[in-house]
Amino acid sequence: MNKSNLFLTAAVGLMVWSGAAQAQFTDNKVKIGVLTDLSGTYSDLAGQGSIEAAKLAIEDFGGKVAGVPIELVTADHQNKGDIGSAIARKWYESDGVDAIFDLVTSSVGIAVREVSKEKGKIDVNSGAGTSALTNDKCSPTGFHWAYDTYALANGTGNAVVKQGGDTWFFLTADYTFGQNMQAQTERVIKVNGGKVLGAVKHPFPNADFSSFLMQAQSSNAKIIGLANSGSDTINAIKQAKEFGITQSGQQLAALLVFITDVHSMGLDVAQKMLLTTGYYWDMDDPSRAFAKRFAAHMNGKMPTMVQAGVYSSVRHYLRAIEAAKTDDGPKVADKMRELPIVDFFAKNGHLRPDGRMVHDMYLVQVKTPQESKVPWDYYKVLRTIPGDEAYQPLSESTCPLVKK
Amino acid sequence: MPTVFGIPMAALFGQVVLGCVNGAFYALLSLGLALIFGLLNVINFAHGALYMMGAFAAWLLLGYAGIGYWGSLILAPLIVALIAGLIERLLLSHLYKLDHLYGLLLTFGLALLLEGLFRQQFGVSGLPYAVPPELQGVWNLGFMILPIYRGWVVAVSVVVCVSIWALIEKTKLGAILRAATENPTLLAAFGVNVPLLMTATFCLGAALAGLSGVLAAPIYSVNPLMGSNLIIVVFAVVVIGGMGSIMGAVVTGFALGLIEGLCKVFVPQVTATAVFVIMAIVLLVRPAGLFGKRR
Amino acid sequence: MQLSRQTLFTLALLLIGLVLPHFVYPVFLMKGLCFALFASAFDLLLGHVGLLSFGHAMFFGFAGYVTAHAAREWALSPELSILLGVLTATLLGLVTGWLAIRRQGIYFAMVTLALAQMMYFVAVEAPFTHGEDGIQGVPRGLLFGLIPLNDPLAIYYTVLAIFVLGLALIHRVVQSPFGQVLKAIRDNEPRAISLGYRVDQYKLLAFVLSAGISGLAGSVKALVFQLASLTDVHWHASGEVVLMTLLGGGGTLFGPTLGAFVVVIIQNSLAEAGSWVTIIQGAIFVLCVLAFRRGIVGTLSPWFAKIGIKV
What CATH class does B3-285 carry? mainly alpha
In this complex, the residue of B101, B117, B287 whose CB is nearest that of residue C52 is: B101
Asked if C134 is an interface residue toward chain A (Cβ–Cβ < 8 A), one would say yes
Q: Which residues, numbered 34 to 73 in chain A, qualify as contacts with chain B under a Cβ-Cβ cut-off of 8 Å?
A: 39-41, 43-44
Peptide bond into A205 cis (omega under 30): yes
- What gap in Å lies between CA B144 and CA B140, rounded to an integer? 6
Residues 6+ apart with CB under 8 A from C127: none
Instruction: Give the model's pLDDT for residue B5.
Output: 66
Tens digits of per-residue pLDDT, B29-51?
999 999 999 888 888 999 999 99
Q: Enumerate residues 90 to 109 of chain A having a beta carbon within 8 A of any beta carbon in chain C.
A: 90, 93-94, 106-107
B chain contacts of residue C117, beta-carbon cutoff 8 Å: 232-233, 236, 276
- Residue B23: CA atoms inside 13 Å, Cβ hemisphere, count? 25
Displacement of CA A390 from its chain's centroid (Å): 15
> Which of B8, B15, B220 is nearest residue A207 as measured by Cβ atoms?
B220
Contact C118, C92 (CB under 8 A): no
Question: Which positions in chain C touch B279 (Cβ < 8 Å)?
Answer: 111, 114
Q: Which residues in C lie closer than 8 A to residue A80 (C-beta atoms)?
A: 229, 231
Neighbouring chains to A with at least 3 Cβ pairs closer than 8 Å: B, C
Element (H, E) at A358: strand A357-358
Q: What is the pLDDT of residue C221?
A: 95
- Tell me the shortest Cα–Cα distance from C199 to chain A, in angstroms: 40
Q: How far apart are CA B24 and CA B21, in angstroms?
A: 5
* Chain B environment of A232 (Cβ under 8 Å): none
By C-alpha distance, the chain A residue nearest C125 is: A174
Instruction: Please indicate whether, in this complex, the C-beta atoms of A107 and C132 are within 8 angstroms of each other.
Output: yes
- The ranges assigned to domains in chain B are 3-285
Residue B132 CA to residue B217 CA, distance in Å, equals: 11
Q: Do C25 and A90 touch (CB under 8 A)?
A: yes
Residue A23 has what pLDDT?
52
Q: Which residues in chain A come in under a pLDDT of 50?
A: 1-4, 6-8, 11-22
User: Which residues 254-273 of B are in CB contact (within 8 Å) with A?
Assistant: 261, 264, 268
Report the C-alpha gap between B139 and B146 in whole angstroms: 5
Chains with 3 or more CB pairs under 8 A to chain B: A, C
Q: Which pLDDT score is estimated for B6?
A: 66
Judging contacts by C-beta atoms under 8 Å, the chain C residues touching residue B269 are 125
Cβ <8 Å between B264 and A210:
no
Return the partners of chain C (3 or more C-beta pairs < 8 Å). Answer: A, B
Q: How confident is the model at residue C272 (pLDDT cuts 50, 70, 90)?
A: low
What is chain B's mean pLDDT, rounded? Answer: 89
Task: Say if residue C31's pLDDT is above 90.
Answer: yes
Report d(CA A262, CA A264) in Å as an integer. 6
Strands B7-8 and B3-4: antiparallel
Q: Three-state SS for A224? A: strand
Mean pLDDT of C203-210: 96
- Sequence-ordered strand ranges (E) for A179-242: 195-202, 223-227
Tell me, what's the pLDDT at A384? 93
Q: Does A218 touch chain B (CB under 8 A)?
A: yes
* Distance between CA atoms of residues C35 and C242, nearest Å: 11
Which residues from chain B sit within 8 angstroms of residue A231, using beta carbons?
Answer: 125-126, 221
- How far apart (Å, rounded) are the C-alpha atoms in residues A226 and A172? 6
- Within a 10 A sphere around the Cβ of A193, how many other Cβ atoms? 8
Option in C25, C152, C231 nearest A82 (CB): C231
Question: Cβ separation of A207 and B221 shorter than 8 Å?
Answer: yes
Asked whether the predicted pLDDT for residue B290 surpasses 70, the reply is: yes
Q: What is the pLDDT of residue A17?
A: 46
User: How much is the pLDDT for C79?
Assistant: 93
Q: Which of C289, C290, C293, C294 to mutate to test the interface with B (most CBs of B within 10 A)?
A: C289
The helix (run of H) or strand (run of E) holding residue A167 is strand A167-173
Contact between A343 and A393 (Cβ < 8 Å): no
The enclosing H or E element of C239 equals helix C235-248
Scan residues 19-78 of B and list those with Cβ closer than 8 Å to C: 41, 43
Where does A202-229 have alpha helices with state H?
Answer: 210-218
Nearest CA-CA partner of C141 in C77, C93, C95: C77
All domains in chain A, ordered by first residue: 25-147+284-355 (3.40.50.2300), 150-277+361-388 (3.40.50.2300)
| pLDDT band at residue C177 using 50, 70 and 90 as cut-offs | very high
Contact B213, B57 (CB under 8 A): yes
- What would the DSSP string read from start to end of C168-209? HHHHHHHHSHHHHHHHHHHH-HHHHHHTT--HHHHHHHHHHH
Residue in chain C lying closest to B289 (CA)? C107
Establish how many alpha carbons lie within 13 A of residue C311's alpha carbon, considering only the half-sphere containing its beta carbon. Answer: 22
If you measure CA to CA, which chain B residue comes closest to A264? B128
Confidence (pLDDT) at A83: 86
Nearest CA to B176 out of B154, B198, B157 is that of: B198
**Distance to chain B for A215, nearest Cα, Å:** 7
Q: Dihedrals φ, ψ of C176, to 5°?
A: -70, 165
Mean pLDDT of B159-184: 90
The predicted structure's pLDDT at residue A21: 41
Would you say the C-alpha torsion B76, B79, B85, B86 has a positive or negative sign? negative
- Sort residue B266 into left (φ over 0), alpha (ψ -120 to 50) or beta: alpha
Give pLDDT, residue C150.
Answer: 86
Q: Which residues, listed in sequence order, are joined to residue A365 by a DSSP beta bridge?
A: A274, A380
What pLDDT, on a 0 to 100 scale, did the predictor assign at position A362? 95
Backbone angles phi, psi at A72, to 5 degrees: -120, 130
The predicted pLDDT at position B270 comes to: 81
Is the Cβ of A89 closer than 8 Å to some Cβ of chain C? yes
**Window 99-158 of B, Cβ < 8 Å to C:** 99-102, 104-106, 108-117, 119-120
The mean-pLDDT minimum among B15-29, C49-63, C106-120 falls in C106-120
Residue C150: how many CB atoms within 10 A of its CB?
13
**C121 and A CB contact within 8 Å:** no
Contacts of A82 in chain C (CB under 8 A): 134, 225, 227, 229, 231-232
pLDDT digits (tens, 9 = 90+) for C78-110: 999 999 999 999 999 999 999 888 888 888 888
Residue C278 pLDDT more than 90? no
Of the partner residues A74, A82, A106, the one whose CB lies closest to the CB of residue C229: A82
pLDDT of residue B250: 94
- Which residues, at least 6 apart from A75, have a Cβ–Cβ distance to it below 8 Å? A33, A34, A35, A36, A38, A87, A91, C271, C272
Helix axes C199-225, A81-94, angle to 10 degrees: 50
State the nearest Cα–Cα gap between B232 and chain C, in angstroms: 7
Q: How far is C282 from chain B (nearest CA, A)?
A: 4
The partner residue sitting opposite A81, judged by closest CB among C27, C124, C133, is: C133
C52-61 pLDDT per residue, tens: 999 999 999 9
Structure ipTM: 0.88
Instruction: Check residues B257 and B267 and name the one with the higher pLDDT.
Output: B257
Q: Which residues of C touch B112 (CB under 8 A)?
A: 239, 278-279, 281-282, 285
CB atoms within 10 A of CB C65: 26
- Locate the chain B residue with the closest alpha carbon to A208: B220
Q: Give C240's DSSP letter.
A: H
CA angle, corner B258, sides to B252 and B259, nearest 5? 85
Q: How far is CA C67 from the centre of its chain?
A: 16
**Of A51-55, A173-177, C2-6, C198-202, minimum mean pLDDT range:** C2-6
pLDDT the model gives residue A225 = 94
Contact B100 C106 (CB under 8 A): yes
Sort out which chain B residues have CB atoms less than 8 A from A217's CB and list them.
11, 14
Interface B-C: count of C-beta contacts within 8 A: 124
pLDDT at A206: 81
Instruction: State which H helix or E strand residue C155 sits in.
Output: helix C152-175
Q: Does A142 touch chain C (CB under 8 A)?
A: no
- The CA–CA distances, whole Å, from C72 to A133, A222, B280, C136, C178 equal 19, 41, 33, 9, 38
Q: What is the pTM of this model?
A: 0.87
HEC sequence for chain B: CCEECCEEHHHHHHHHHHHHHHHHHHHHHHHHHHHHHHHHCCCCCCHHHHHHHHHHHHHHHHHHHCCCHHHHHHHHHHHHHHHHHHHHHHCHHHHCCCCCHHHHHHHHHHHHHHHHHHHHHHCCCCECCCCCHHHCCEEECCCCEEEHHHHHHHHHHHHHHHHHHHHHHHCHHHHHHHHHHHCHHHHHHCCCCHHHHHHHHHHHHHHHHHHHHHHHCCCCCECCCCCCCHHHHHHHHHHHHCCCCHHHHHHHHHHHHHHHHHHHHHCHHHHHHHHHHHHHHHHHHCCCCCCCCCC
Q: How many DSSP H helices and E strands does chain C contain?
A: 13, 2
Question: Does residue A243 sit at the B interface (CB-CB below 8 Å)?
Answer: yes
